Amino acid sequence: MSSTATTLKRHNHRVHPCKPEKKQELLNLLLAQNADKIILVVASNTDEMSNNVENAKNITFISDEDLAVSPELKCELLISYDLPQKAIIYMSRIARTSEYALILLDPQEQTLLYPIETLTGRTLMQETIPGFETIVVKAEPIKKEFKPRDDKKEYKPRNSDFKGEKKEYKPRSSEERGDKKYGDKPARDDKYPAKKPYNKDAGKSNSWDNKEKKSSKFLGKDGNGKALFSGKSGDRNHRHDGTPKDYVPKVPGRKINIKSLKKAEDKE
């Protein structure tokens, strides 16, 4: 069997929480309750522990260093006075017991217990012995006194010399308001004239407004029988008075000679 293997049943492998100053007292109690068993007490340092416990034939106090060089040492009950820094060292401890294994655990060693539970593959049962509890005082929440909303606070004036009484708020009735409504606005004062409507083209001048319209007179007809009026600008071929315009020769367009392409005949 490997030195780190264990065959302990779960209910025989337990943890007893205890304060550091009461560890020695709890150890003496467990030794007295199991006086009929072969007991092995293991700790990192056995000097302080062995001096306070009476030696007996069935009890052996040993450190982890001495236990590693004593492979023949076996027991029925293993008591761990403290926990080693490495979980693999604790596994070599419980490999020496055949029935029971107990741990005296103070709150500061709680973090060393988690790696051990990982190696064993199960959580260890914790049993608190009466008289050795680790009491944790919980802070009680502060209770606030709530006053009902119906209670009115006493009116205290800002000025200590004020001797008057506080006036209660009373909404104005419709008779006091008269016909005035909440949405009505005061009338505008007459000394301020009403604003003119905004016109974005007010400052611009229109050149066509200053020109006087000239009457159009009938002048007659041209050679083709077309009516002529003085109010019109000149026609395309005649002026407004009916006289023909000077002849302006038209510029002939550019002529492009396109020669037809003849296919070259194959010479025989």
- All structural domains of the chain with their residue ranges: 10-126, 217-246
CA-to-CA dists, residue 15 to 67, 104, 123, 137, 193, angstroms = 21, 6, 10, 22, 98
Q: What whole-number percentage of the chain has pLDDT above 70?
A: 53
Arithmetic mean of pLDDT over the chain: 75
Report pTM.
Answer: 0.49
Q: What whole-number percentage of the chain has pLDDT above 90?
A: 31
* Residue pair 94/6 in contact by the 8 Å Cβ criterion: yes
Mean pLDDT of 84-92: 92
226-244 confidence digits (pLDDT tens): 777 766 555 555 565 656 6
Q: Which residues contact 252 (CB under 8 A, 6 or more apart)?
A: none
Cβ count near 26 (within 10 Å): 20
Is pLDDT larger for residue 11 or for residue 163? 11
Q: Which CATH number fits domain 10-126: 3.40.50.300, 3.40.710.10, 3.50.50.60, 3.40.50.1580?
A: 3.40.50.300
* Residue pair 244/234 in contact by the 8 Å Cβ criterion: no
DSSP state of 37: S
- Band the pLDDT of 1: cuts 50, 70, 90: very low
